[in-house]
Each structure stands twice: as C-alpha cells, then as structure tokens.
Amino acid sequence: MERLWAPWRMEYILEPHRDECIFCEALKKGEEGYTLVRKELAFVIMNTFPYNNGHIMVAPTRHIGDIGDLSDDEMLSISRLVKKSLRILQDKLKPDAFNIGMNLGRVAGAGVEDHIHIHIVPRWNGDTNFMPVISNTKIVSQALNETYRILKEGFSKIKD
C-alpha cells in the first residue's frame, strides 16, 4: 500500500460538513479561511484541496451562482484580482504557466454551483510526472500554511 502524508486533510475529515457556502464561510474566517485579499466586490482565497501548489480562487463577495447576474463593477473587480493574482503568483512561486477557468454547473465539474469562482492553477515544467498516470495520485509539494504565508505577503503589498 502506498502512503502519502497530507495532515491538513484531517481538519476536513473531522469537521462536521455543513450546507453553508465554502466561499462565504472563508470570508467570515478571514485568514483562518485562507482568504488572501478581500475587496468590496471580490476576494481571493486559496483552494484548501489544491490541484497544484498555489491553487487559488477568485470570487465575487456577493453570494451569486450565475455569471450573468454579476454587475459590471463585480466583473471588473474579479478581473482585476485575477490579473493581480497572476502577477503575485509569478513573483512568489515562479510558475511556467497557468490554468485559469470556471466550472459553471454540476455537469461542467462545479463543486460549488451557487457561488461562482475562477480557478487559477500555477503549472511548472515537469509538474506532471508518473504519479498521476500510474497511481492516479497528485503530489502537492508544499504545505498550505507555507504557501499561504508566501502569497499573503504578496497580496499585502498590492495597491488598488
């Protein structure tokens, strides 16, 4: 049997699962919810079950499930945070590329359908290796708290 050490998952396993929105909950928790920056209309949080190191999400502050219902100001705020997030990720983690996208609807892979969000996943040359192919296992090589500390420092320096 193969073992991978992922101690941060224990909090998820032991925490009672609620029907509350993970994005709204993260905003209430602030740093404990891995919120990197909060603006009036949008915010950035880390994905606590990342596809890769530095996987973050940008979402509107307002709980909304349909991109068509976003105001122009909300869309602009989200777009600005995506742009700033890319700059910070490039500066702090030095990825070679990014996957950026939204999953709209359950069939499209949305894990949270009622609060839209944009995923930003940093990618590095060589970050795909034999583990996902042979053992269907993805390795995330940095602890969430360490990645959070590094990215939070970058977000604390951004100007509007």
* All domains in the chain, ordered by first residue: 19-156 (3.30.428.10)
Q: What is the spatial distance between Cα 34 and Cα 91, in angstroms, rounded to a whole number?
A: 19
Indicate which residues carry an active-site annotation: 117
pLDDT in tens, 115-138: 999 999 999 887 665 455 555 555
Residues in the chain: 160
Confidence band for 152, pLDDT divided at 50, 70 and 90 = very high
Stretch 25-36: mean pLDDT: 90
Stretch 3-7: mean pLDDT: 66
pLDDT in tens, 37-80: 999 999 999 988 777 889 999 999 999 999 999 999 999 999 99
Tell me the CB-side half-sphere exposure of residue 149, using CA atoms within 13 A. Answer: 5
Residues in contact with 114: Cβ distance below 8 Å, sequence separation at least 6, in sequence order: 21, 63, 65
Strands 56-60 and 42-46: antiparallel
Q: What is the spatial distance between Cα 157 and Cα 36, in angstroms, rounded to a whole number?
A: 11
C-alpha angle 46-63-59 in degrees, rounded to nearest 5: 35
Count the neighbouring beta carbons within 10 Å of the beta carbon of residue 14.
Answer: 7
Residue 123, SS3 per DSSP: strand
Tell me the CB-side half-sphere exposure of residue 105, using CA atoms within 13 A. Answer: 2
95 has a pLDDT exceeding 70: yes
Please give the mean pLDDT across all residues of the chain: 83
